[in-house]
């Protein structure tokens, strides 16, 4: 029995109502979905840390999620693990004509934009023909905003350059101030969302990955804050002992030390 077959058999037994694990048996797609998302993030974390032992284990945890969903689908008569593997294989072959296509297609090599054109052809055959169809609602909001903007841009709904996006951000900031001034909490939340959406569009025009940029900013803040905190606590004091102006001076010193 190969490794995949062994894993499939393990999951079948875990889901067996008679001899399986009660927790595994009672799960459904909705209850497992959060774990699937969590495991994907843990894979990304292991990659970022360049810890390949952890990456091996986290990829196993993520694969288990695929097997779990496929087993539940098989039980419901929807599809099997083989269907999942077969469908993705077909999709990869279809989207790589420069590798798997005719002799002429292989000879032409990879054509810029062909991947997206093939995906659009696939979407055109579905029930939802919208240019923004298929952008998963469960994506993190930042990533989904980026994808929605890209899709809209492909059909011409976009600013001609970054200056238009910058003006939109300024406009949204003004609208946020107006909502805050009116003490309209619902409107303020909506306008704040519009600002974030516009900022993501600016990142797209600048060819910046907004998720990567924000992750970098998070790391930078954490690095500087921890250094400032260490510097203060080593002197037997607490951050709460300092005024904001004093903390700002410590912050600037931390920036000099750790970048």
Residue 78 is predicted with a pLDDT of 98
> Topology of 3-94 in CATH?
Helix Hairpins (1.10.287)
Split at pLDDT 50, 70, 90, the class of 129 is confident
Where on the phi/psi map is residue 136: left (φ > 0), alpha (ψ -120 to 50), or beta?
Answer: beta
Round the average pLDDT of the chain to a whole number and report it.
Answer: 92
Split at pLDDT 50, 70, 90, the class of 196 is very high
What would the mean pLDDT of 176-190 be, rounded to a whole number?
96
CATH 3.40.50.970 matches 136-208 = no
Residue 29, Cβ neighbours under 10 Å: how many? 13
Lowest mean pLDDT among 25-29, 118-122, 162-166, 196-200: 118-122
Phi, psi torsion values for 102, nearest 5 degrees: -70, 170
Q: Do the domains 3-94 and 136-208 sit in the same CATH topology, yes or no?
A: yes
Residue pair 62/39 in contact (Cβ under 8 Å)? The answer is yes
Q: What is the pLDDT of residues 20-44, one digit of tens each?
A: 999 999 999 999 999 999 999 999 9
Residue spans per domain, the chain:
3-94, 136-208, 212-258
Phi, psi torsion values for 152, nearest 5 degrees: -65, -35
């Amino acid at each position: 029995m190969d490794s995949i077959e062994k894993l499939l058999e393990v999951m079948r037994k875990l889901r067996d109502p008679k001899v399986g694990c009660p927790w595994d048996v009672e799960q459904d797609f909705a209850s497992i979905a959060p774990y699937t998302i969590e495991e994907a993030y843990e894979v990304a974390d292991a990659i970022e840390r360049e810890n390949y032992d952890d990456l091996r284990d986290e990829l196993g945890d993520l694969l288990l999620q695929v097997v779990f969903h496929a087993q539940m689908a098989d039980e419901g008569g929807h599809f099997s693990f083989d269907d999942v593997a077969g469908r993705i294989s077909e999709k990869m072959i279809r989207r790589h004509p420069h590798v798997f296509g005719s002799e002429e297609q292989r000879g032409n090599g990879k054509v810029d934009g062909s991947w997206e054109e093939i995906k659009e052809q696939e979407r055109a055959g579905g029930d939802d023909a919208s240019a923004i169809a298929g952008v998963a609602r469960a994506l993190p909001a930042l990533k989904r905003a980026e994808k929605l903007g890209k899709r809209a841009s492909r059909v011409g709904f976009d600013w001609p350059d970054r200056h238009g996006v910058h003006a939109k951000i300024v406009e949204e900031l003004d609208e946020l101030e107006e909502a805050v001034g009116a003490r309209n909490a619902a409107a303020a939340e909506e306008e704040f969302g519009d600002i974030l959406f516009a900022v993501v569009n600016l990142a797209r025009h600048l060819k910046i990955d907004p998720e990567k940029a924000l992750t970098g900013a998070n790391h930078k803040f954490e690095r500087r804050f921890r250094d400032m905190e260490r510097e203060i606590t080593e002197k037997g004091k607490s951050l709460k002992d300092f005024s904001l102006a004093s903390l700002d001076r410590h912050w600037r010193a931390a920036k000099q030390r750790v970048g």
